[in-house]
Amino acid sequence: MTDERSHPPQAADAPSDATVPKVVVSRLSLYLRELQRLVASGQQTISSSQLGTLLGFSDAQVRKDLGFFGQFGYPGVGYRCDELIRAMRDILGTNHAWSVAMVGVGNLGQALLGYRGFGRQNFVIAAAFDADPAKVGQTIQGIRIQPLDELAATIRDHGIRLGMIVVPAERAQEAADRLVAAGVEGIVNFAPVTLALPPHVQNVGVDLAIELEQLSFAVTSKFARAPAEPPGRAEP
Amino acid sequence: MTDERSHPPQAADAPSDATVPKVVVSRLSLYLRELQRLVASGQQTISSSQLGTLLGFSDAQVRKDLGFFGQFGYPGVGYRCDELIRAMRDILGTNHAWSVAMVGVGNLGQALLGYRGFGRQNFVIAAAFDADPAKVGQTIQGIRIQPLDELAATIRDHGIRLGMIVVPAERAQEAADRLVAAGVEGIVNFAPVTLALPPHVQNVGVDLAIELEQLSFAVTSKFARAPAEPPGRAEP
DNA sequence: CGGTGTGAAAGTTTTCACAGCG
DNA sequence: CGCTGTGAAAACTTTCACACCG
């Protein structure tokens, strides 16, 4: 497959040095998610203001965000959905598949093993580990649970670069240490603790109770900031 | 129980009007989580710089964040953990229990029904709904699955104010509409779509694949910003 | 001392507004 | 036209630095 392209969309040659704010990257994921939905429903092109409206952002913000990475639009037309999707996947690194190692296969871990959404974005849970001897050896959602002793070897053999921690809070730091020792470069942590990690290991924490706490605050507090203006459903 | 207090910590009488940035509130939750761990391990007081170090923030940031809500510290001493925990819970609104309605009881929903972490922060899943007639009537993790028809009545009868959407993407907007119609004030959405909601309904989205995407970017991209300086585990 | 609370400065992100293009 | 890309301005957040306190 050759790369025949007419003109504008230059994914590469962006402000090449610039370091991009995290918040921009998180919006990128939302743009990508929405674009995928749009192509699925047959839409070919979209303008920054349409896309912004769907997600509750301004048109300027959409354009600025994309501007960090290059020029993807056609003046007077907007963005071609399929092209933009491809560009965003290149940027996010999800045009190729990622293998992920899961540590801890309890309630939540098992649910995540069965979650189809990962595969859709090119993430594959390639190995799963648990400390409980009763679980080791079982096959859940088509994946065989291995003992923790095998973690380092398996991760190295499969060239796994990302880990997912789904153990109880008390065991999370130990799990992280093992993943780091095995050479993992990034960790998603579902345990409700802050991990101590070397600076070259990236990490994202997901604390389910904290998400509810944030809602509790937003719903109750006189200090809560009014939401800018979310997509649709407003009343006059 | 009377409220006998010696002097400083004035939870109320903060800069009373000020509207607080979301990012500050999200750090509040992290402070609270860490403080709870500290008391559990017997620590009585903590300084802003200790707390900051544990979480990867500066001491000034910790103090500024708390400063939005009042004065909680003792110069020369720091903060008394138990007092600060109580103050933070007041701010976040989790000194009283919250009932939550769950819509969608698949893989992930069932795992969340069994998650102990919610209860620990005072959230109780008080009702669960599913469209699948095969599931309706079953009792999972001690909770009886109800049909969607009963959603509005149950939510009103129990005075439920928060909802959790755990249905597939295609059904998420419908689930949200039902929750809103029933009078819910805030929604945590685990489906990978952006919901259209009236502005008086708060919402927090949790997209598990997006969390991995963010890691993928951070691990791969030349555009990724170097992490400020995470807690511990650095090498010289 | 060791530590908080807080103005003022520095830095970052968002919004504005408009030239330029197909 | 309608819409992008982008400097410049505005808004917001973080860091600094220091008075003050027990």
Residues of chain A neighbouring B206 (CB-CB closer than 8 A): 206, 208, 211
Under a CB-based contact definition with an 8 Å cutoff, are residues A213 and B177 in contact? no
Q: If you average pLDDT over residues B16-21, what whole number do you get? A: 80
Identify the pLDDT of residue B16.
Answer: 60
Rounded to an integer, what distance in angstroms lies between the CA atom of residue A229 and that of residue B197? 10
CB A65 within 8 A of CB A48: no
> Cα separations (Å) of B205 from A55, A98, A137, B112, B189?
12, 23, 35, 15, 5
Task: For chain A, say whether B120 makes contact (Cβ under 8 Å).
Answer: yes
Residue in the structure block whose two tokens are 């079953």: B138
Query: What pLDDT band is residue A223 in, cutting at 50, 70 and 90?
Result: very high
Residues 6+ apart with CB under 8 A from B182: B151, B152, B155, B156
| Average pLDDT of chain A to the nearest whole number | 92
pLDDT of residue A232: 61
pLDDT tens for residues B118-151?
999 999 999 999 999 999 999 999 999 999 999 9
Pairs across A and B, CB distance < 8 A: 254
Q: Which helix (H) or strand (E) holds B33?
A: helix B22-40
Protein CA A20 to sugar C1' D15 (Å)? 20
**Where are the domain boundaries for CATH 1.10.10.10 in chain B?**
10-92
Computed on alpha carbons and rounded to an integer, the radius of gyration of chain A in Å comes to: 21
Q: Which residues contact A195 (CB under 8 A, 6 or more apart)?
A: A165, A172, A173, A176, A187, A189, A203, A205, B231
Cα-based distances in Å from A190 to A94, A105, B30: 22, 12, 14
Q: From 1.10.10.10, 3.40.50.10800, 1.20.140.10, 1.20.1730.10, which CATH number describes the A10-92 domain?
A: 1.10.10.10
Distance separating alpha carbons of residues B221 and B180, to the nearest angstrom: 40
User: What is the structure's pLDDT at B231?
Assistant: 72
pLDDT confidence bin for B13, thresholds 50/70/90: low
Q: Each residue of A23-47: pLDDT tens digit?
A: 999 999 999 999 999 999 999 999 9
**B208: nearest CB among A28, A68, A118:** A118
Instruction: State the Cα–Cα distance between residues A186 and B182, nearest whole angstrom.
Output: 41
A136 in contact with chain B, both atoms CB, cutoff 8 A:
no
Please give the Cα distance from B91 to B88 (Å, whole number): 5
Q: What is the pLDDT of residue A226?
A: 84
- CB-to-strand D contacts below 7 angstroms: A 8, 47-49, 59-60, 63-64, 66-67, 71-79; B 21-24, 57-58, 60-61, 63-64, 74-76, 228
Chain B residue with minimum CA distance to A225? B19
Whether residue B18 has pLDDT greater than 60: yes
Q: A1 pLDDT exceeds 80?
A: no
pLDDT tens figures, A75-125: 999 999 999 999 999 999 999 999 999 999 999 999 999 999 999 999 999
The answer on pLDDT for B23 being more than 70 is: yes
Cβ atoms of B158 and B146 within 8 Å: the answer is: no
* Averaged pLDDT score across all residues of chain B: 92
Mean pLDDT of A13-30: 85
Q: For the whole model, what pTM was predicted?
A: 0.94
Distance from CA of B69 to the nearest CA of A (A): 8
Instruction: Quote helix, strand, coil % in chain A, to nearest 5.
Output: 40, 15, 40
Virtual torsion, Cα B137, B139, B142, B143, nearest 10 deg: -40
- Name the nucleotide nearest A8; use CA and C1': D4
Distances (CA, A) of B39 to A45, A169, A220, B10, B44: 55, 15, 26, 21, 7
Residue A98 and residue A118: Cα distance in Å, rounded? 10
| Token pair belonging to B63 | 């103090």
Compute the nearest-CA separation of B195 from chain A (Å).
7
The answer, yes or no, to whether residue B8 has pLDDT greater than 60, is: no
- Can you give the pLDDT at residue A121? 98
**Which residues are within 8 A (CB) of A187 and not within 5 positions of it... i.e. 6 or more apart?**
A162, A163, A164, A165, A176, A179, A180, A195, A197, A201, A202, A203, A204, B215
Alpha-carbon Rg for chain B, nearest whole angstrom, is 21
CA distance B99 to B161: 7
B182-233 pLDDT per residue, tens: 999 999 999 999 999 999 999 999 999 999 999 999 999 989 988 776 676 6
Nearest CB among B162, B194, B225 relative to A21 is that of B225
pLDDT band at A227 (very low <50, low <70, confident <90, very high): confident
Contacts 24+ apart (CB under 8 A), A135-139: A135/A105
Residue A48 pLDDT exceeds 90: yes
d(CA B136, CA B147): 6
Give the integer Cα–Cα distance in Å for B101 and B118: 13
Q: Give SS3 for B178.
A: helix
The encoded tokens of residue B49 equal: 């710089």
Residue (of A218, A51, A233) closest to B179 by Cα position: A233
Residue A100 parent element (H or E): strand A98-103
Q: Are B25 and B93 in contact (CB under 8 A)?
A: no
Percent with pLDDT over 70 in chain B: 89
What pLDDT, on a 0 to 100 scale, did the predictor assign at position A11?
54
* pLDDT of res. B9: 58
**Which amino acid is present at B233?**
R
Smallest CA-to-CA distance from B199 within A227, A206, A6 is with A227
User: pLDDT tens, B73-115?
Assistant: 999 999 999 999 999 999 999 999 999 999 999 999 999 999 9
CB B173 within 8 A of CB B165: no
CA A138 from centre of chain: 28
Q: Which residues of B touch A196 (CB under 8 A)?
A: 230-233
**Could you report the per-residue pLDDT of B151-195, keeping only the tens digit for each?**
999 999 999 999 999 999 999 999 999 999 999 999 999 999 999
Q: Which tens digits make up the pLDDT trace of B38-67?
A: 999 999 999 999 999 999 999 999 999 999
CATH of B98-211, one of 3.40.228.10, 3.20.20.70, 3.40.50.720, 3.30.70.2080: 3.40.50.720
Q: Is the pLDDT of residue B6 over 90?
A: no
Chain A residues with CB under 8 Å of B226 CB are 19, 199
Which of A204, A11, A25, A199 lies closest to A100 in space, CA to CA? A204
Strands B143-146 and B162-165: unpaired
The mean pLDDT of A179-202, rounded to a whole number, is: 98
- What is the predicted pLDDT for the residue at B229? 64
Cβ contacts of B220 on chain A, cutoff 8 Å:
93
Identity of the amino acid at A49: S
Instruction: Return the pLDDT at A15.
Output: 57
- pLDDT value at residue A18: 73
Enumerate the CATH 3.40.50.720 domain ranges in chain B, comma separated. Answer: 98-211
